[in-house]
Structure 1
């Protein structure tokens, strides 16, 4: 049975992990007969968004690990405790938390950096030749993980794609129900809610991504 590490970035599309993407990822893993363990960095998230109004909640402070535990039903570990040798593959759902908490892509674009614990973990999977899947906006950090020749998709948003190519990655336009495979790096990406108009569309791409990643493991 394959064992997969899933890294979450909080809870909620605008300031954490995209909840539908996260749950669909876990469901796809279970459907494919894989085990999984959720992880998140124990750190303060960049900011807190009121998901009813879309406005920032001034003075509100939340912890990425504590918020991500909502999605994982409390079954979650600190990212610092993730040991690559215990897992066959890595998955990162999207949501703006990937671009605000796991990295600062949302703020700095092509000048972004990856949060140190996240960088350590993701690079460890890459260096061990273990497969990984990144969803939605999460692939924006991949040039910092795999280097300048990595192939990926975030869908077809021109501005985001330009920032990614400016970092040296190769962006490939992709439909929401499809994936982009970089076989050299054992890497699979899919647009999910960068393009999805409903949960069914997101599910098709996520299921395909999980299937491809497990097939590489």
Structure 2
């Protein structure tokens, strides 16, 4: 049975993992006959957003690992404990947490970085030639993880695509129900909620991504 590592970035689209993307990913992994383990960095979130009003809750501070446990029903591990050799592939759902907590792309798009622990884990899969899937805004990390001129997609948002192209990504426009496959690096990406307007639309691309990532493990 294939074993997939899933990296989460908190809980909630505006300051953590996009919950629908995460749940659809875990469901697709199970339905494909594979298993997963969830991980998250044990760090503070960039900030906390009131998901009802959209306002920053300046006085509140939350931990990415603890918040990720909400999605994983408590079954989430510190990212420092991820051992690449124990897994066949990696998948990173999106949500602003990927661009605020795993990286700082949302804050510093012109010269953004990826959290060192996240970078080490993701590069571990890349260096071992193990498949990986990145969805929504998570492909923003691809140029830093894989280097320049590697193909991935965030959909067809012109402004975001331009920023990522400037960072070295070979961005490919992509419909919500499709995927971009970088065969050389066994890298799969899909727009998910960068374009999706419903669970069904999000699932259409996420299911393809999960299926392709698992296929590339063979």
Provide TM-score, normalisation by structure 1: 0.99
Question: Which residue number in structure 2 is paired with residue 4 of structure 1?
Answer: 4
Partners of 1:53 and 1:59 in 2: CA distance: 15
Question: Which residue number in structure 1 is paired with residue 124 of structure 2?
Answer: 124
| Residue aligned with 1:188, SS | strand
Question: Which residue number in structure 2 is paired with residue 18 of structure 1?
Answer: 18
- Shift in Å, 1:168: 1.3
Question: Which residue number in structure 1 is paired with residue 212 of structure 2?
Answer: 212
Question: Which residue number in structure 2 is paired with residue 46 of structure 1?
Answer: 46
Q: What is the CA deviation profile of residues 109-141 of structure 1, one whole-angstrom value per residue up to 9, with x for unaligned ones?
A: 131100000000000000000000001000011
| Residue aligned with 1:30, SS | helix
Q: Do the aligned partners of residues 107 and 149 (structure 1) sit closer, same or farther apart at CA in structure 2, a change above 3 Å counting? A: same
- The 4+ residue runs of structure 1 with deviation greater than 6 A are none
Partners of 2:178 and 2:192 in 1: CA distance: 9
Q: What is the CA deviation profile of residues 70-90 of structure 1, one whole-angstrom value per residue up to 9, with x for unaligned ones?
A: 000000100000000000000
Question: Which residue number in structure 1 is paired with residue 185 of structure 2?
Answer: 185
1:201 lines up with 2:201 in the alignment = yes
| Residue aligned with 1:107, SS | coil
Question: Which residue number in structure 2 is paired with residue 84 of structure 1?
Answer: 84
Partners of 2:64 and 2:168 in 1: CA distance: 29
Q: Which residues of structure 2 form unaligned runs of 5+?
A: none
| Residue aligned with 1:142, SS | helix
Partners of 1:39 and 1:141 in 2: CA distance: 17
CA RMSD in angstroms, aligned pairs only: 0.4
Question: Which residue number in structure 2 is paired with residue 134 of structure 1?
Answer: 134
| Residue aligned with 2:42, SS | coil
Partners of 2:30 and 2:108 in 1: CA distance: 36
Question: Which residue number in structure 1 is paired with residue 174 of structure 2?
Answer: 174
Q: Which residues of structure 1 form unaligned runs of 5+?
A: none
Partners of 1:14 and 1:157 in 2: CA distance: 18
Partners of 1:188 and 1:97 in 2: CA distance: 19
Provide TM-score, normalisation by structure 2: 0.99
Partners of 1:67 and 1:122 in 2: CA distance: 21
Q: How does 1:153-164 map to 2 (within 5 A)?
A: 153-164=153-164
- Shift in Å, 1:36: 0.3
Asked if the contact 1:110–1:164 (Cα under 8 Å) also holds between the matched residues in 2, the reply is no
Partners of 2:152 and 2:57 in 1: CA distance: 33
